Amino acid sequence: MTWLDVLQSCELNEDTKLIFIGGGNMAGALIRRAVNSNFLTKDDIVISVKSKGSQTKWIDEGYNNTFLDNNDMLKKYPTGIVFICVKPQLFGSMVDQLEEGILQDSPLVVSIMAGLSTQSIAEKLHSTLYSQSIVRLMPSTPCLVGASASLVCYNQLPENNRLSIVTELASHAGTCTILDEKQFHAASAVAACSPAYVYILIEALADGGVLAGLPRNEALTLAAQAFQGAAKMVAETGKHPGLLKDEVCSAGGATVAGVRLLEKNGVRSALIEAVKASTERSEEMSKIK
């Protein structure tokens, strides 16, 4: 679907804007991917940022609808779809600075804040008179290259097919999975936090190549391609990763010797514990008021 098709299916005006409160790394990756994939134009995007420097940077990129004040932005675009992209610990103070009733005409509010539940978001937005569905979208930074594993949940199904606004945006940035909110903490740890774990593993694998005599650039290229190829094998063959691992491990060979050392040093356990820690931290963040 094109952006115009989405708006028509949602019974929204073709001039409806996507409004981003916050223009940090995650919002930036999502915005730029949507524009680079021709799903949206820069004129479809409205952004608020905290500093003049950030505003200048966005305007220099061609995003002319960039504001320093949320109230000014929302008054100018009262019927836009609002994406809340601030740090979760700043959400409360951000809402406290909004004028009463300022979101009452917005057709949809989408949160990309980690941890905060739809219930806590809805309760905090009460003063803005927003009464529609709250949708949570959790992309990952690989959305910039169309490889995000994005997650979506909601407190109630948005009316008039408006969930498609979020799912189509996410699909242009990679895959999109809709799930129950009670699964969101664990799913976020696996899908959204794990690129950081993988970057560490790629860097470490490249360091090993350098130790063994490879030039740094070649080692990084080979390590990155190895992860990309392995991920594609899991995704496209449908085989269990354990079976794929066994297919690489020849009897008495070099690969199984390396696997033995990984197991000896607890790499598998470290990754399991990392997901557990990220899940628990996400749960803690959901309790931040």
Annotated binding site for NADPH: 70
Binding residues for NADP(+): 21-26
Point out the annotated binding site. Answer: 21-26, 70
- In one-letter notation, the amino acid at residue 214 is L
